[in-house]
Amino acid sequence: MIHPDVVVFAQGLPDSGDARFGLRVLQSLWSPQTQVVLGMTLAQGLALAPARSEDEWVLWVQSPWVTPEAHCIARLAAALQGGADVAWACDSLQPAPMPPAAYATLRGMERFVAAHAVQAVPVASDHQAHFGLATRAGWRQYLAGAAQVVRVAGAWVHDASGYFGGERREVLPLLPPQMTTLLDVGGGEGGFLTAVKQTQPQVFTQLVELTAGAAAVARTKPEIDAVWVGSFFDWQPATRYDCISFLDVLEHLVDPEAALSHAKSLLSPTGAVVMSLPNVGHWSVVADLLEGRWDWATSGIHCYTHVRFFTRQTIIDMLRRVGLHAQHWETVQVPCPPDWKTHWHTPRLQLDADSLDVYAYLIRAVPVSVEGA
């Protein structure tokens, strides 16, 4: 629910449950009597928004995929009250003057921000970031190149705008050799298929994507040979595929085993399934739970639309139940702070210390009937 005194001017809002959740988080932090320009240029927003007062605050948000830390807007407002005309937040894509992002959950983001001093740092008058606050008069000065502009360390937003577009090049080494057909399930805007085509132009690339907006972007990419919009469970092609990929998709499905079984039925005789799955045993999740926290987010391990959760053992068990064998494993590492592990060495606890470091598992699996499986 948007605060009744907040006027929002927006365009290009995504048809994604995760992004819609992120908007609700953002809306809960908007101040009364603030106008918000979302997903359009600042000039467009100021032209659309009727001027109630030159002193009213206008929040400019580049994308609905940004999630501000709880103190972000208040700290931007304090910088304006300190004399700046425009205050920009630091963010995960443009962190300076703060260090690069070092967290994996929303609670982790809070800890990250709390470890850094709040400071308004002057920047060039034409500096632009992804999340900024000013009065209407301040934005007019900014557009005229005459504003005093600051970047506020300690005012932080996480930017997940690349959610649908990642190329996932770390997965390329897991693809089966001599592959000629590849089906990517839930591949968003087709970034992964584009990366595959660039390295293996002979491969026929097929995307199955539930989100119509992302699929429309994928259709514009020459590297993607075919796009089908809808549920993977309704996909019944005549073609059989040498590889079917689920890159951070299975955890969004109520029945991931049914999806794997369907994929298995669509494989060529030597085909493989490649998947990426987040590890709920990662230290960031354990740390949050110890603090009594499990905060949904627009992306990551705590992504709002995750309905299934995995560790290495639950992945092995799932694959066994559907007749698949994990032929090759890789891990995405976001290491646990060394001093954290020492707390858990007790005689009665069988600590999987390696799991604490693993943010995600990358797996190539083949049917158990395949020779060598």
CA distance 253 to 60: 34
Question: Tell me, what DSSP letter sits at residue 174?
Answer: G
CA distance 107 to 103: 8
CA distance 224 to 195: 10
Pairing of strands 57-61, 131-135: antiparallel
- Note whether 349 and 291 are within 8 A (CB): no
Q: Let me know if 226 is exposed, middle or buried by CB neighbors in 10 A (0-12, 13-18, 19+).
A: middle
Map out the domains of the chain as residue ranges.
7-159, 169-367
Closest CA to 276 of 346, 350, 182, 171: 171
Question: Tell me, what DSSP letter sits at residue 280?
Answer: T
Contacts 24+ apart (CB under 8 A), 40-47: 40/9, 40/10, 40/11, 40/12, 42/139, 42/142, 42/143, 43/143, 45/9, 46/136, 46/139, 46/140, 46/143
Closest CA to 67 of 159, 162, 163, 130: 159
Three-state DSSP class for 336?
coil
Residue range 7-159 in CATH 3.90.550.10: yes
CA distance 100 to 95: 6
Can you tell me which residue has the tokens 């937003």? 157
Side-by-side strand order, sheet with 267-278 = 226-229, 204-209, 181-185, 241-247, 267-278, 358-367, 324-333
Q: What is the structure's pLDDT at 3? A: 42
Identical topology for domains 7-159 and 169-367: no
Pairing of strands 119-123, 149-159: antiparallel
Which pLDDT tens digits describe the chain residue by residue (373 residues)? 334 444 555 556 666 788 778 777 877 777 666 778 887 888 888 887 767 778 888 999 888 788 899 999 999 999 999 999 999 999 999 999 999 999 999 999 999 999 999 999 999 999 999 999 999 999 999 999 999 999 999 999 999 887 777 889 999 999 998 899 999 999 999 999 999 999 999 999 999 999 888 899 999 999 999 999 999 999 999 999 999 999 999 999 999 999 999 999 999 999 999 999 999 999 999 999 999 999 999 889 999 999 999 999 999 999 999 999 999 999 999 998 887 777 766 777 787 888 999 999 999 999 997 655 5
- Note whether 289 and 309 are within 8 A (CB): no
The number of C-alpha atoms within 13 Å of 108 and in the hemisphere containing its C-beta is: 22
- How many residues are recorded in the chain? 373
**Alpha-helical regions (H) of the chain:** 17-27, 42-48, 72-81, 106-114, 136-143, 191-199, 212-219, 256-265, 283-290, 312-321, 338-341, 353-357
Per DSSP, what are the bridge partners of residue 181?
A: 204
Compute CA distances 330 → 74, 157, 215, 276, whole Å: 42, 30, 28, 9
Which CATH architecture describes the domain 169-367? 3-Layer(aba) Sandwich (3.40)
CA distance 276 to 341: 25
Cα angle at 74 between 70 and 76, to 5 degrees?
Answer: 110
The number of C-alpha atoms within 13 Å of 159 and in the hemisphere containing its C-beta is: 17
